[in-house]
Structure 1
């Protein structure tokens, strides 16, 4: 036969149960955050002027790391990728595998046709560069600030395996919050 618990014993037991429930909830939340951070979304800090005016130094961006497991990058998307010198670069996809790209008279030509770039400032200049054929499994990227960007004109086309993910949003500073 079990003796009834005293009021203080019941309170201690309830506190232990509540503490255990809170620990389980916190561990679950931390585990979920770690899984999301590793496999789905990752924050990055923008450094340098190469993406002005779309992105500025000091912007914090959220990168979708999962999207390119299910689809290929599209022209115009802003991506983060592993570049030489163990750095991550933020650039815009301009040309896709198998396409040709060149710049003439401040215009980008894809397969000989002028590419519309509504995201660029109207006074943005692009130095001419010769025709490049983008190899299979790679994309050609440029910074939006074409006169001050280390991009595929310098480092060559970017391999799909080097792409970290697609930039989805700027979340800091808050007044610059936007979806891309």
Structure 2
């Protein structure tokens, strides 16, 4: 009887440890997310399932073209691409991204598949000053984010710049559906 009790206790202990580790990993390191909508086409598709790296920005700064998940509201998280970094001025003119007055290529548009999104469409002209908040440069600890599908995206053009405190993490791994399993580069 003592041997059975010991086995049962070992199983309970193992399960508690497993649940504790899963809780720690999901809370502090990685969490899944499902893409909701077409705002990141052609890079991400509606219903793609991804892993969010929650600790990268605890040790590193955000980088241009990172794909991030952030709290848009208490009930909704968005996935968008970092376009502008703290201290920078961002503008779009004639479908060209300008950072501090210099044109910047957007390499993620190079391999667009016509069957997914025939044309990312023009990004309507704007300057940082015209966005909510009317900033002259992006404030410290904030980023400017845009969806890749610029004609169908709620992003910094409507929300203003995003505080790093709102950012859950960065994501680059699609794990479902299997035929789309891949790591997304910049």
User: TM-score normalised by the shorter chain: which range applies?
Assistant: 0.7 to 0.9
Q: How does 1:2-21 map to 2 (within 5 A)?
A: 12-21=1-10
Instruction: State the partner residue of 1:29.
Output: 18
Q: How does 1:9-158 map to 2 (within 5 A)?
A: 12-84=1-73, 86-120=75-109, 121=112, 123-125=119-121, 126-132=123-129, 133-158=137-162
- For residues 154 and 84 of structure 1, what CA distance do their matches in structure 2 show? 13
- With normalisation by structure 1, the TM-score equals 0.87
CA deviation profile, 1:37-75 (whole Å, cap 9, x unmatched): 111111111101100111111111110111111111100
- For residues 74 and 108 of structure 1, what CA distance do their matches in structure 2 show? 16
Q: Which runs of 5+ in 2 are unaligned?
A: 114-118, 130-136
What number of residue pairs does the alignment pair up?
169
- With normalisation by structure 2, the TM-score equals 0.85
- For residues 85 and 102 of structure 1, what CA distance do their matches in structure 2 show? 29
- For residues 179 and 24 of structure 1, what CA distance do their matches in structure 2 show? 36
CA deviation profile, 1:112-164 (whole Å, cap 9, x unmatched): 11211121238322221124421222100000001111111111010111111
Q: Which runs of 5+ in 1 are unaligned?
A: 1-11
Higher gyration radius (CA): 1
Equivalent residue in structure 1 for 2:166, among 144, 162, 167 = 162
